[in-house]
Amino acid sequence: MTASNHVPRFIPTLTEVVDPASLQNVVDRPQSDLQALVQQVQRDLQPMLERRLQEEFEQFQRTVLVEQWHAMRKRLQQDLDDMVRQAIAHGVTSADSGDGTTITSRVSTDS
pLDDT at residue 31 greater than cutoff 60: yes
Average pLDDT rounded to a whole number, residues 13-18: 74
Residue 18's pLDDT is what?
Answer: 74
- Rounded Cα distance between 68 and 74, Å, is 10
- Rounded Cα distance between 26 and 107, Å, is 87
pLDDT, the chain, mean = 82
Amino acid identity of residue 6, one-letter, is: H
pTM over 0.85: no
Amino acid identity of residue 19, one-letter, is: D
Residue 19's pLDDT is what?
Answer: 76
Average pLDDT rounded to a whole number, residues 44-52: 95
Most confident of 2-11, 13-22, 55-64, 95-104: 55-64
Amino acid identity of residue 78, one-letter, is: Q
Residues contacting residue 102 through CB under 8 Å, at least 6 positions apart:
95
Residue 110 CA, chain-centre distance (Å), reads 44
